[in-house]
Structure 1
Amino acid sequence: MPEIASATKVAVLVVAAGRGTRAGGGETPKQYRRIGGVAVLRRTVEAFAGVDRVDSIQVVIHADDRAMYDAALAGSSAHAKLRPPVGGGDSRQASVLNGLEALRAEAPDLVLIHDAARPFVTGDVVLSTLDALAGGARAVVAAVPVADTLKRGEVTAPESSVQVRGTVERAGLWAAQTPQGFVFADILEAHRRAAAAGVEGLTDDAAVAEWQGLAVAISPGDAANSKITTMEDLMQADRIIQLEELARCSDVRVATAYDVHAFEPGDEVILGGIAIPHDRALKGHSDADVVLHALTDAILGALCDGDIGHHFPPSDPQWRGAPSDQFLRFAAERVRRAGGAISLLDATVVCERPKVGPHREAMRARIAEICDLPVGRVAVKATTSERLGFTGREEGIATLATATLRLPFDYLPEDASC
């Protein structure tokens, strides 16, 4: 067997093939449900990707979940370390074995096996597990001491009530978590032998190692490294993230913007990312979406990060006729890269025609989609100018926009020249 001290290649195996029905969500397994606006699986994977000593990440998914997996990990910062996902089996043990077999070509020295439904794993827990392996252990489980008094219960008939039948001594008891770390060759062999022997129902990979006769060490876990199982767990996880984000992003900024485009011959206008039939079009270097332009400027204003003309100069021919959703998406991504969040986007469209009301909800949905926001954080309103001014004379359309952001107090704009 290889010496632990010489191990340099670390792989992480994330088990995400379960159905997670107890967490609700209908057809969406819990690992693809969102907490704090981000899929559970994505948070889990990115937690490991942020640890320098982790070289690669292998995710095991259900055969029916590829579309949800791709959507959850689209644009993730973990992509540089992610291997293509592999299909799971009929049980957790089978899924882990499939993942381990997929990692054989990479030949890692060590592997950390982790449940996708534990998105709060910290770098300290990951490093403690790796340090235990580097210190000579061949199998390690992250765990926390049991603090609660434990009672042994028995269901009594006919009332089916539970009666206490004794108190369990908690000294020496630990609550196992993941990640669980192993010498790769050891745990692969243990899973292969368990499968060949028809041994099933082992609840974690440390149990597989124990069955194989491997000594399993304990490394410090974290009480916050909880597993999402029920709908209540999911709701609690969402609350935790929201509170963390409020504490981290307590610099609330509000900025306004204004944009206007004149009419020219055509048969539709683009407003809020939606094509609306009209007897004229809006004139502009791009698609002249006056709503998205104003929202983009409002976000950039709150970021103190220039304006739409600075980042997308109208003198640059590559933006001729360009769809304006890419401008708004760019601004929203600047907020995310700053470690912040968009609290609200509000747009007021000023025109006599076309009527915005029938298209309002489609515009809200499209803006929310572009910015990856809940639609409840997007407002679109419309008004006329009572036949006054250029909008009253139907010479063009104007939009006033407001963006409310939450940013870290130490935020600085990416482009100092702005």
Structure 2
Amino acid sequence: MPNARFILKEPNAKTETLVYLVYDYQYKRFKYSTGEKIDPKFWNKKNQRAKETRKFPQYPEFNARLDMLANGINTAFRKLLNDGIQPNNEILKKAFLQAVEGNVIQPDKITLLNFIEKYIDESKTSKKEGTLKAYKTAFRYLKEYSQKIKKPLDFDTITLEFYNQYTGYLTYEHNLSANTVGKHIKTLKTFLNEATDRGINQNMDFKKRKFKTTREESDSIYLSVDELKNIESIDFSDSPRLDKVRDLFLIGCFTGLRFSDFTQIKPENIDYGKSILQIRTQKTGQRVSIPLHATVKRILKKYNNELPKAYVNQVMNKYLKDVASISGLKQLVQTTITKGGKVQKNNCPKYELVTTHTARRSFATNLYLADVPSISIMKITGHKTERSFMQYIKISQEENADKLLNHPFFN
């Protein structure tokens, strides 16, 4: 018959440490935290109990508790054998807890919202500011929803029924777009995956096919090579701010870098001998090498290879619309968005849709139209799959047809 024994979590600690119950049976080992703590100087390693000393006056009750737990695990093991049940750690733990019911210190239960709050706090040292902002926003909506339905949210409540009700809440009560709702579900899945990896969550409903991250194709635009040449040709010398914004934007259009990267280019990133720009991207940490386009070379020369300091993204986007408007990008573009569960269609001038991210999208699309292999473009943009890359580039049906006209199949 196996015997229960007790060990200290940290036997050499100078302060109190946890006491573990260890039970070796049938070539298996069951380990359980008793919840009791003791200073190692009061522990009798040979007897595996507290020393009977006046310096630790609680020893009678302390040892009696360990005896009760030892009897409980032995009773549970015998009962399983008598009932013809083959023990394993999961079965034995359940039987043990039943045997000592009411006499075990239960650990504090970690709820879903508690976990998310702690995880966000942990992430402050490892995640980007944008990611933390997304985490906090998703957490806020979850708390508001819990208050709205007057029920606590926990791991076992994240079911398909919850999914349907919560996405409806975000869509109709907060009037969020389909893509924004999808981002909140994606963030919730991030929290649940982390909790699952840590052994805290056992509910796998969030991995079901219907618990999906919705995504609606965006109406993001790109600027053609001719449109970019026109922007470059405009004389903005009477407006230094627009001149600077235009130049930085063109750097993005001909390098494919994100705003956070093309605004940080330094002379040491440029290999003038090979005519290549090399930089480690902030978002992914990848090191990319990009051939220097003639436009990039001209702009670098204009600033003596030291690009001007950029405005913050919001201000850049505001000034970019002025640059695009002056450059004549006033043709109407129809945009479609599903918001509050309703499809909304609007016509707006193209310049209103230009942002710093238009630069990166323009780079990818223009290279694709120029028959540069997708894999070569993806080496710069960082897309992992061709599928995600094809969703990223923006070409019309007509542009796609024009591209195919030069294909051998159609000749």
Higher relative contact order (CA 8 A, sep 6+): 1
TM range (shorter): under 0.3
- What TM-score do you get using the length of structure 2 for normalisation? 0.26
User: Which of the pair is proportionally richer in strand?
Assistant: 1
Larger Rg computed on CA atoms: 2
- What TM-score do you get using the length of structure 1 for normalisation? 0.26
